[in-house]
A and B are shown apart, each in its own frame.
Chain A
């Protein structure tokens, strides 16, 4: 129920955006999130964008995970 899926913003018009998840288009309401631009990744939940995915944090987490794996394997 609290599931939210990362979706890429394609275009923004007023209080809604067209987003894609694996090339399928959805409409996301932007009533709960401002400053959304094409190219952003948002978390889509029940038709609403509830938050943004921070690409830098995502990269850092992933790097941390990969480093840990590497350290364990060395």
Chain B
């Protein structure tokens, strides 16, 4: 495939490993904060190619994994409202809530449909005028503009039975919170497709105020190896900065249209992240102008206090403090076919990735 295959060239990747051994001497820890990166790193076995002084750890880059138990429980409560269709991206339906999961609710008769695009939900709303359609909006800056564009379309097309339960989140506050929380890293492998929307300015503070290196990376093995090399060079020189490895897709400005739509529909709010708790200004709430599409304004449900799965250390894994192998549920009570926690549910969750590619 064009723009993919050439970045999977084995000799190229091995030459990066050699170059890294040559230039990198300091002990460094780098965190990737995108589930797509976590997946690629393990799928292509990149950690085994790195010199022993470079360690990669995974952060909170999987939207399904970081969605709070409260959000999952709310989605479950919505699915029980008569004449309601829940639409969602695939992985979310398997996340165990406090007492059940959307998958189990679907088996019990709730109308829960997996969609590939938010626009599909709008089409479902159009052809089912007598039903209320609630789209579960999850994802970071890459995905949230699609939800915003869909809400604007719903308004233009006067579709009044389409609603969104927003758990959309933004990246910079959580990256900052992790560091302030004492997670010790030297730099971030920054998310390529988030940055394709946001541009690179959002990371400047991490470099200038926190002394962290930031390299925006693509998703192929050669991309990631180059990003690690760029960070290693920064660390050796003692000059952390923001750089783009993924120049074929990312530029400093980002996608201005997408950001305009995002800002038109959403406003920042404090939000709850699984394992990390409340992080100021890290979530996206639907603005008053579009409140007629806000599920939280329309459907008032009572949900009992959320219960986290017992023994699951997903929260510490999302903060890069532990790895899945540290969890006594991993591979025993908790596997992709019967997940105990959210990190094992999503294909790009750290636990699911470790499970799939473990040796």
Please list the residues of chain A having a beta carbon within 8 angstroms of any beta carbon in chain B: 1-4, 6, 8, 21-22, 29, 31-34, 41, 43, 45-48, 50-55, 57-58, 60-62, 65-66, 68-69, 72-73
A23 to chain B, nearest CB (A): 10
Where chain A touches its partner, the secondary structure class is mixed
B19 touches A68 (CB 8 A): yes
* Bound Cα distance from A61 to B116, whole angstroms: 31
Residues in B whose Cβ lies below 8 Å from that of A6: 1-4
Residues in B whose Cβ lies below 8 Å from that of A51: 193, 196-197, 249-250, 255
* Bound Cα distance from A33 to B197, whole angstroms: 11
B18 touches A47 (CB 8 A): no
From the candidates B15, B36, B120, B192, name the one contacting A69 in the complex (CB within 8 A).
Answer: B15
Q: Please give 4 more A-B residue pairs, beta carbons under 8 A apart, in addition to A31-B152, A46-B89, A47-B120.
A: A2-B61, A55-B248, A65-B222, A73-B15
B138 CB within 8 Å of chain A: yes
| CB-CB under 8 A for A45 and B15, given A50-B258, A57-B248, A58-B3 | no
B77 to chain A, nearest CB (A): 23
Q: Which residue of the partner chain B has the closest CB to A66? A: B12
From the candidates A8, A43, A65, A69, name the one contacting B2 in the complex (CB within 8 A).
Answer: A8
| CB-CB under 8 A for A54 and B248, given A6-B2, A6-B3, A45-B142 | yes
B194 touches A47 (CB 8 A): no
- B318-359 interface bits toward A, Cβ cutoff 8 Å, 1 = contact, 0 = none: 000000000000000000000000000010100000000000
Residues in B whose Cβ lies below 8 Å from that of A21: 1
| CB-CB under 8 A for A29 and B193, given A1-B348, A2-B34, A54-B247 | no
From the candidates B149, B194, B197, B226, name the one contacting A31 in the complex (CB within 8 A).
Answer: B149
* Bound Cα distance from A55 to B6, whole angstroms: 13
B97 CB within 8 Å of chain A: no
Q: Which residue of the partner chain A has the closest CB to B92? A: A1
Where chain B touches its partner, the secondary structure class is helix
Residues in B whose Cβ lies below 8 Å from that of A58: 3, 248
Residues in B whose Cβ lies below 8 Å from that of A31: 149, 152-153, 261
Residues in B whose Cβ lies below 8 Å from that of A47: 116-120, 146
* Bound Cα distance from A45 to B117, whole angstroms: 9
* Bound Cα distance from A34 to B261, whole angstroms: 13
Residues in B whose Cβ lies below 8 Å from that of A68: 15-16, 19
B191 CB within 8 Å of chain A: yes
Residues in A whose Cβ lies below 8 Å from that of B191: 2
* Bound Cα distance from A21 to B1, whole angstroms: 8
Residues in B whose Cβ lies below 8 Å from that of A54: 247-249, 251
From the candidates B116, B193, B251, name the one contacting A50 in the complex (CB within 8 A).
Answer: B193
Q: Which residue of the partner chain A has the closest CB to B139? A: A1
Could you list 24 examples of A-B contacts with CB < 8 Å?
A: A1-B35, A1-B143, A2-B63, A2-B143, A2-B194, A6-B2, A6-B3, A29-B117, A31-B149, A31-B261, A41-B2, A47-B118, A48-B117, A48-B145, A50-B255, A51-B197, A52-B249, A53-B248, A61-B248, A68-B15, A68-B16, A72-B18, A72-B19, A73-B15
From the candidates B116, B119, B140, B247, name the one contacting A2 in the complex (CB within 8 A).
Answer: B140
From the candidates A8, A34, A50, A60, name the one contacting B247 in the complex (CB within 8 A).
Answer: A60
* Bound Cα distance from A52 to B145, whole angstroms: 16
| CB-CB under 8 A for A32 and B149, given A46-B117, A65-B12, A69-B11 | yes
- B102-129 interface bits toward A, Cβ cutoff 8 Å, 1 = contact, 0 = none: 0000000000000011111000000000
A46 to chain B, nearest CB (A): 5
- Most chain A beta-carbon neighbours within 10 Å: one of B3, B143, B146, B219: B3
* Bound Cα distance from A73 to B15, whole angstroms: 8
Q: Which of B214-272 contact A (CB under 8 A)?
A: 219, 222, 226, 245, 247-251, 255, 257-258, 261
Residues in A whose Cβ lies below 8 Å from that of B7: 62, 65
